[in-house]
Amino acid sequence: MEKLDLTTPNITDENVQKIAELFPECVTESDNGETQVVDFDLLKQELSGHIVEGNKERYQLTWPGKAQSLVTANTPINKTLRPNREESKDFDNTENLYIEGDNLEVLKLLQETYLGKIKMIYIDPPYNTGKDFVYKDNFTQDKTEYDAESGNVDDEGGRLISNPDSNGRYHSDWLSMMYPRLKLARNLLKDDGIIFISIDDNEMHNLRKVCDEIFGEINSIETFVVRSNPRGNQAKKQVASEHENILCFAKNKSNIDKLGFVKGQEEYNKVDGVGIYREMGLRKRGAGSRRVDAPNQFYPIYFSEESNEISIDASDNAIEIIPKLQDGSDGRWRWAKLSVQERGDELLARKVRRGDGYEYDIFQKDYYSEGKLSKIKSIFYDKGVNNENATEEVKQLFDNKKYFDYPKPTFTISKLVESIDNKDCAILDFFAGSGTTAHAVMQLNAEDGGNRKFIMAQIPETTDEKSEAYKAGYKTIAEIGKERIHRAGEKIKTDNADKEGVDDLDIGFRVLKVDSSNMKDVYFSPDNTSQDDMFDLASNIKDDRADEDLLFMVLLDWGIDLSVKIECREVAGKIVYFADGDFLAACFEDNLDEDFIKALSAEQPRKVVLRDSGFASSSVKINVEQIFKQANIEVKVI
């Protein structure tokens, strides 16, 4: 009977297979045991319109360690996610996830389950200011080697090291950290998905080039400017820098119309026989508003007070209206002449104050329609909203105690989430920090009735023993983040208690933690097991793993959403977990006989997972596949 693979996808092998399908002549055998390898010289020739003669200079970003970072992204791991009900909130009903662990491992583990399913990613990675920690990724080292090399280590042997600007590989180490994570993140985005990345000037230039390579320069949408520090960053600068950047790329820009906000009906305060509308000046304002910017949009419009008609043709007693700027120079209209001629019924003339008197100006009737979008602007500014206020926002949740430095304002993240114009989608943040993204998602759902789901990932980075957070019992950043989400959710519900449907607002989260595989080494390498070890291997599952640990391992391997509803039922005297209705049935008990198999088959699940050692006899095991095959049920064992 087929066993579950229980490893993350081998992306290198998958890519070789894709190349083999497109260019079979470019894939050959090797002498080092690999069944298929790419003949890169031949592939280069296939992709070139002229004769290829070795390496040539080209426009590209490279650094020491780039090739290794690509290998790191593609290397599979034998790890799993273990549920933690105690640290979760409303585990059985929530659709939100909080994943604790190295985000590179998290992204690898999510590759099958969430491939092409994430609408939006927001991350606030280390800015590489010379004081940050960066992730040290080396899955070939054992724990002893990791402890010897790493600075800030965790229970798994260490992931974080300091990256001072005196380091000779200062930029290279940061790029080697970001590259594999962004590469894996792109796989998770939907075809119309978008990623937003907060960054400052230290690595802005490098991040842009990395994103151009991973997402494609053609899929760049915008670099947003955010006023983050009203007093300005004075350190090591010749100017007081008040801003940060948010880099925005699409998975496929052609699938995105525009980013913006649904216009609220309250802005439309006038009505006529067509519908409700708001007035928008036809005179162009701001940048590009001068006559020289669009000469064909400078022309007189005529208004008749007698007939209340607007025209581009002069008539008796009609008032000529010229688009003038405040300084008296020639401006222009937003519309060309033809548009005025064809859509004149959408225009009106109204007197406005000009200097000491009043004169007519032309306005457009902008009619309200359901779902109409107003484009997001590239500069984020809201009076009183910045990183200092964000610190206060978190402090208020923790009884005015400062437990986290430099959080992002929920205002900023809410604008980004709202701009994608999708109220029912998954949003991922794999540098979760204090949990601002989760806070913003819950707040926005409360405001507009949305059903957005968040997936947070955060390494359990230790807090400073001298910090208020550590003294208060928060030993890791992840603990602060989980508590912030818990408190923010309760506050949001209290603040919106009078709103319809607020009782159904999902403010819970299911905590999952990255851990070593649930399976003993023999599962993955049975050929390396000696006879002396056999007495210890009555089961290939580690002794400290619970049935629910095994269930989530199966969900990951079979690509089933980790937030699905889970129901525990008794079938023929055995405990069976049903996930996502009757899509998956999993039983990890022993002594499974044919009566149980037939009873489980009668429940009509689509897929079934059992323990390889759980059958009452070899004859039962032989008959299992046939029984399930007749019922058109897929079965595998662990």
Q: What is the pLDDT of residues 379-413, one digit of tens each?
A: 877 655 566 678 888 999 999 999 998 888 898 99
- Rounded to 10°, the helix 66-74/170-188 angle is 30
Mean pLDDT over 529-557 rounds to 78
pLDDT confidence tier of residue 259, bands split at 50, 70 and 90 = confident
At a CB cut-off of 8 Å and minimum separation 6, what does 398 contact?
Answer: 483, 484, 487
What local confidence, expressed as pLDDT, does residue 85 receive? 97
Lowest model confidence (mean pLDDT) among 78-87, 205-214, 232-241: 232-241
Q: What is the pLDDT of residue 374?
A: 73
Amino acid code (one letter) for 19: I
The answer to whether the Cα torsion of 252, 257, 258, 264 is positive or negative is negative
User: For residue 235, what pLDDT band results from cuts at 50, 70 and 90?
Assistant: low
265-269, 363-367, 434-438, 500-504 — which is least confidently predicted? 265-269
pLDDT band at 522 (very low <50, low <70, confident <90, very high): low
Structure tokens that stand for 35 in this block:
């069944």
With bands split at pLDDT 50, 70 and 90, how would you rate the model's confidence at 553? very high
Determine the pLDDT at residue 373.
65
Tokens of 460: 């359990």
Give the mean pLDDT of 317-328: 90
Whether residue 141 has pLDDT greater than 50: no
Range with the largest mean pLDDT of 52-56, 137-141, 520-524, 622-626: 622-626
- Asked if 220 and 212 touch (Cβ cutoff 8 Å), the reply is yes
Q: Which residue has the higher pLDDT, 574 or 354?
A: 574
- Residues with Cβ within 8 Å of residue 438, at least 6 apart in sequence: 96, 98, 429, 432, 454, 456, 481, 485, 488, 509
Burial annotation 458-470 (CB, 10 A radius, 16+ → b, else e): bbbeebeeeeebb
Q: With left for phi above 0 and alpha for psi between -120 and 50, is residue 400 left, alpha or beta?
A: left
**pLDDT given for residue 316 in this prediction:** 86
| Structure confidence at residue 262 (pLDDT) | 61
| Predicted pLDDT at 152 | 40
Distance of CA 47 to the CA centre of its chain: 33
| Coarse DSSP helix, strand, coil percentages of the chain, rounded to the nearest 5 percent | 30, 25, 45
Domains and CATH numbers, the chain: 11-58 (no CATH), 79-262+374-513 (3.40.50.150), 265-370 (no CATH), 519-637 (no CATH)
pLDDT of residue 171: 82
Phi, psi of 268 (to 5 degrees): -100, 95
pTM: 0.77
pLDDT beyond 90 at 332 = yes
Residue 133 and residue 102: Cα distance in Å, rounded? Answer: 13
Provide φ and ψ at 484, rounded to 5°. Answer: -65, -45
If one compares 263 and 53, the residue with the highest pLDDT of the two is: 53
Q: Which amino acid is at 225?
A: V
Could you give the percent of the chain with pLDDT greater than 90? 54
What is the number of H-type helices and E-type strands within the chain? 17, 28
* DSSP bridge pairs for 241: 233
Name the pLDDT band for 523 (thresholds 50, 70, 90): low
Mean pLDDT across the chain:
85
State how far the Cα of 412 lies from the Cα of 430, in Å rounded to an integer: 17
Instruction: Transcribe 331-346 into DSSP letters.
Output: B-BSS-HHHHHHSGGG
Query: Which position has the higher pLDDT, 182 or 288?
Result: 182
* Ramachandran bin of 5, using left for φ above 0, alpha for ψ from -120 to 50, beta for the remaining angles: alpha
146 band by pLDDT with thresholds 50, 70 and 90? very low
